[in-house]
Amino acid sequence: MAVNGRVVTELGIRADPERDRITVEGRPLSRAPGLLYLAFHKPTGVLTTLSDPAGRPTLKEAIGPQPARLFPVGRLDYNSSGLVILTNDGDLAYKLMHPRYGIEKVYRVKVRGVPSPETIRRMRQGVDLDDGPCKPLRVRIEERRKTKSWLEIVVREGRHHLVRRLCAAVGHPVEKLVRIGIGPVRLGGLKLGMWRPLRAQEVALLRRAARSGRDLRERSGA
């Protein structure tokens, strides 16, 4: 091994891999990449995975080469679009996905028909699905049209097709679903198919949200 061109022959020599050039048998020692956090605006028709045996488009192709191997935080189904967070921070990814931490997911949903006030009230109170009850944190109508409506639905769970099943259960099937927020991170003006690094403040707020969610659940005995 050599450090900055000097062959090391003694035990206990210290080197900083961030500042020093370290080689082993003439080859540079690879540096572990730092933690990366990306926000991606997933289009429909892209799988929230890194590979697909059937050859369908995945996140790996969509975001292109990155300095580290990144993994999606949770899933967003094939026919939905919106915010996906990718990171190599396993600890934070776990906290954002695990129900114990109660991270909010915000969706804009176009449904068939115009839900009545009674239907909205029923959704807020909770609806029994085949895998258990679903009680959103918030449900509100954003826009009413003749035969369609746009809703904002906020949930803390990540069950398979949860929002779609919730709307279908009250008689208003989903025609379009866009995830616009995960915890404090918002899709904002990020264009479809584009990605951006999360700001340091956003990462700090995600960690704080996970910590607050855990503390709240522990106090409530959940």
- Active-site residue among 16, 52, 77, 91? 77
Q: What is the dihedral of CA 156, 98, 35, 62, to 10 degrees?
A: -70
Handedness of CA 103, 136, 195, 90 (dihedral sign): positive
**70, 88 in Cβ contact below 8 A?**
yes
Q: How far is CA 219 from the centre of its chain?
A: 26
What would the two tokens of residue 9 be?
């022959």
CA–CA separation, 99 and 90 (whole Å)? 16
Q: Is 215 one of the catalytic residues? A: no
Q: How far is CA 6 from CA 20, 81, 95, 120, in A?
A: 11, 53, 44, 71
Whole-angstrom distance, CA of residue 16 vs CA of residue 150? 54
Contacts of 7 (CB under 8 A, 6+ apart): 1
**Catalytic residue numbers?**
77
